[in-house]
């Protein structure tokens, strides 16, 4: 039955592709089709609001906040190029249901079991009507949302405890809208903080004192680790939807400024890193990097990293394929250098020198290399189907210094040589994880480790998505596949090392018994399972020292 549903989904995709390439219909025909679609769909205001929330949470990252497409195709009733109405609403609903339930070979996960049957049915109707209009949100709205909870003058000047802040872990509990701070030495939960809907990442200040969270609701939360227990000291809402924040790390600018990358609206906002007071906003709408110079209004800011060699941030503008190098020496009037690369930019990190930035243009199946100090494109590298490195990871063996990426769309781990000499900026080795298919979200290693860890979070096979593969760095042979420990279930995601590089923390979420499992990196045995009542579907984990110093 599942094969039949997948076949239906693929037929729908084929029809969509054919329709988008067909001749444009007349305006009268398009208006008539819209009327037919609207008249045949029954959806209440309450259902529309609920559908928008589900779409925003589950779909907008790949298909765009306004459903115009990005990494994934557009999800509009009428294609931007013309009419793509599929015929009867029943056919459309059946195809959409199969598409949502089973995912696609290109990297879209199967949502059956993640979304309820009622939610999937609602989405088949929600996707057949026009999307809600996104209201404006700029400097005035950001300022109105700003809350300075504890002024700088009222904060402690040194830690009010004897704990090792460098080995704190910030743990995202995405669906609960919370972040937990754990003492990595003692494994104690210090506090669980409400930080906003669907937190995406955590970043630390250059000193390591502050932890900043940003969520899918655009809310930035600033957490002070000097207080007896970590405390929220400021908040601001930078937009309606976001994925990334970063701080200034260059010498002389430590802990001064913070940058926010907006998905909706699409803009770069710079804030005071001590208070979160907004200082400037720069829209990122603009022409695409490729030859047709298409103007893109929804040009969302994906990954952001801070240079240690220059007073700049590297901001990746997803839909345009433009890498922006943002000079923050004058934060109210920041300098912007735009480098055309490839669409659609997503996530990435530095090579081992910190001189070069590598980022996935995942819909283009490429990795882009940027020379940060010289502000120029070095190379665009073909890897595999939908590379998804997270920040990637750096390892070293007889092949040289290597930066590693995994892939959503296929079972391939690509190793790119980064040091000067023969074959620099080429894929010098490809290896495979256990089983078939892609679905890997993250790779991870550490300078003191002999292992490379790979998850398979979005693979449809439950046996694969609940395990992690560990490779020997020197031989690049699979050393062991680690299944979920007894009493733990769900999907394994996002490995993170402790400061010493001898432990690896793995999240298990979307199961009945979610947990954080801590492995000994040398023996690959379980050291501890954190599975208390406060643990609610943990996802990303960020060690303060490693995040501050870009160790990955």
59 is catalytic: yes
Of these residues, 74, 200, 267, 346, which one is catalytic?
346
pLDDT value, residue 109: 67
Q: Which of 1, 48, 63, 510 is catalytic?
A: 63
Q: What is the pLDDT of residue 252?
A: 97
Minimal CA–CA distance to 303: which of 221, 214, 229? 214
Q: Based on the residue annotation, tell me whether 388 is a catalytic residue of this protein.
A: yes
- Active site residue: 74, 200, 267, 388, which one? 388
Token digits of residue 417: 């040589």
Query: What pLDDT is stored for residue 11 in this prediction?
Result: 36
- Closest Cα partner for 373 from 304, 289, 311? 311
Q: Is the pLDDT of residue 65 over 50?
A: yes
Q: Does the active-site annotation cover 346?
A: yes
C-alpha to C-alpha distance for 491 and 476, rounded to whole angstroms: 24
**Confidence (pTM):** 0.84
Q: Which tens digits make up the pLDDT trace of 231-284?
A: 999 999 999 989 999 999 999 999 999 999 999 999 999 999 999 999 999 999
* Residue 123 annotated to the active site: no
Residue 7 has pLDDT above 80, yes or no: no
What's the average model confidence in pLDDT over 165-188?
96
Write out pLDDT tens, residues 414-424.
Answer: 999 999 999 99
What's the pLDDT tens digit per position in 115-151?
Answer: 888 888 888 888 888 887 778 899 999 999 999 999 9
> Exactly one of 62, 123, 315, 510 is catalytic; which is it?
62
Domains of the chain as residue ranges with CATH: 2-126 (1.10.760.10)
Evaluate if residue 451 carries a pLDDT over 90.
yes
Q: 27: pLDDT confidence band, cut at 50, 70 and 90? A: very low
- State pLDDT tens for residues 462-482: 999 999 999 999 999 999 999
DSSP string, 17-41: HHHHHSPPPPHHHHHHHHHHHHHH-
Model pLDDT for residues 331-349, shown as the tens digit of each residue: 999 999 999 999 999 999 9
Residues 471, 460 contacting (CB under 8 angstroms): no
Alpha carbons 60 and 114: distance in angstroms, whole number: 16
pLDDT tens figures, 502-525? 999 999 999 999 999 999 999 999
The whole-angstrom separation of Cα 441 and Cα 492 is 10
Nearest to 299 by CA among 275, 323, 280, 277: 323
Residue 416 is encoded by which pair of tokens? 């790119």
DSSP H/E element including 142: helix 139-145
d(CA 239, CA 376) in angstroms, rounded, equals: 30
549 belongs to the catalytic site: no
Q: What is the per-residue pLDDT across 478-500, written as a single tens digit (0 to 9) for each?
A: 999 999 999 999 999 999 999 99
Instruction: Give 50's pLDDT tier (boundaries 50, 70, 90).
Output: confident
- 8-state DSSP, 465: H
Q: Mean pLDDT lowest for which of 287-301, 302-316, 350-364?
A: 287-301
Helix intervals (H) in 336-486: 462-465
From the list 108, 289, 322, 495, the catalytic residue is 108
407 is catalytic: no
What's the rounded Cα separation, in Å, for the pair 170 and 540?
Answer: 8
**What b-and-e string marks burial along 106-140, b requiring 16 or more CB atoms within 10 Å of the CB?**
bbbbbbbeebeeebbebbbbbbbbebbeeeebeee
Q: How close are the terminal C-alpha atoms of the chain, in Å?
A: 42
């Amino acid at each position: 039955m599942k094969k039949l549903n997948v076949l239906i989904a693929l037929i729908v995709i084929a029809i969509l592709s054919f329709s988008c390439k067909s001749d444009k219909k007349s305006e009268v025909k398009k208006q008539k089709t819209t009327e037919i679609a609207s008249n045949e769909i029954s959806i209440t205001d309450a259902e529309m609001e609920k559908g928008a929330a589900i779409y925003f949470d589950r779909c907008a990252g790949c298909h765009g906040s306004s459903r115009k497409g990005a990494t994934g195709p557009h999800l509009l009733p009428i294609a931007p190029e013309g009419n793509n109405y599929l015929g009867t609403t029943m056919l459309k609903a059946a195809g959409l249901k199969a598409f949502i339930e089973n995912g696609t070979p290109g990297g879209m996960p199967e949502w059956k079991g993640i979304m309820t049957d009622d939610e999937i049915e609602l989405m088949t109707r929600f996707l057949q009507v026009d999307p809600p209009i996104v209201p404006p949100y700029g400097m005035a709205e950001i300022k109105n949302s700003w809350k300075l909870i504890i002024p700088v003058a009222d904060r402690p000047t040194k830690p009010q405890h004897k704990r090792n802040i460098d080995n704190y872990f910030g743990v995202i509990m995405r669906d609960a809208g919370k972040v937990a701070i754990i003492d990595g030495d003692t494994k104690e939960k210090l506090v669980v903080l409400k930080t906003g809907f669907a937190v995406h990442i955590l970043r630390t200040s250059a000193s390591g004192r502050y932890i900043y969270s940003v969520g899918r609701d655009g809310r930035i939360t600033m957490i002070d680790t000097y207080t007896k227990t970590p405390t929220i000291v400021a908040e601001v809402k930078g937009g309606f939807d976001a994925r990334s924040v970063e701080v200034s790390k260059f010498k002389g600018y430590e802990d001064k400024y913070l940058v926010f990358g907006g998905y909706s609206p699409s803009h770069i906002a710079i804030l005071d890193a001590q208070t979160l007071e907004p200082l400037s906003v720069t829209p990122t709408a603009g022409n695409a990097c490729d030859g047709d110079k298409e103007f893109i209004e929804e040009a969302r800011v994906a990954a952001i990293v801070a240079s240690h060699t220059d007073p700049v941030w590297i901001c990746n503008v997803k839909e345009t394929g433009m890498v922006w190098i943002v000079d923050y020496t004058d934060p109210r009037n920041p300098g912007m250098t735009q480098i055309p690369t490839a669409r659609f930019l997503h996530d990435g990190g530095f090579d081992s020198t910190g001189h070069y930035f590598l980022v996935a243009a995942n819909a283009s199946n490429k990795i882009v290399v940027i020379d940060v100090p010289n502000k120029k494109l070095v190379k665009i590298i073909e890897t595999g189907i939908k590379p998804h490195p997270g920040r990637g990871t750096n390892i070293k063996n007889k092949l040289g210094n290597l930066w590693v990426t995994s892939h959503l769309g296929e079972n391939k781990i690509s190793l790119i040589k980064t040091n000067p000499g023969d074959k620099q900026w080429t894929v010098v080795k490809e290896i495979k994880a256990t089983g078939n298919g892609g679905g890997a979200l993250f790779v991870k290693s550490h300078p003191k480790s002999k292992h490379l860890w790979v998850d398979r979070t979005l693979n449809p096979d439950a046996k694969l998505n609940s395990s992690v593969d560990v490779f020997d760095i020197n031989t690049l042979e699979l050393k062991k596949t680690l299944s979920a420990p007894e009493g733990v279930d769900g999907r394994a995601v996002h490995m993170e090392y402790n400061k010493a590089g001898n432990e690896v923390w793995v999240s298990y979420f979307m199961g009945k018994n979610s947990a954080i499992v801590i492995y000994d990196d040398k023996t690959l045995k379980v050291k501890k399972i954190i599975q208390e009542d406060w643990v609610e579907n943990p996802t990303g984990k960020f060690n303060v020292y490693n995040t501050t110093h870009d160790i990955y």
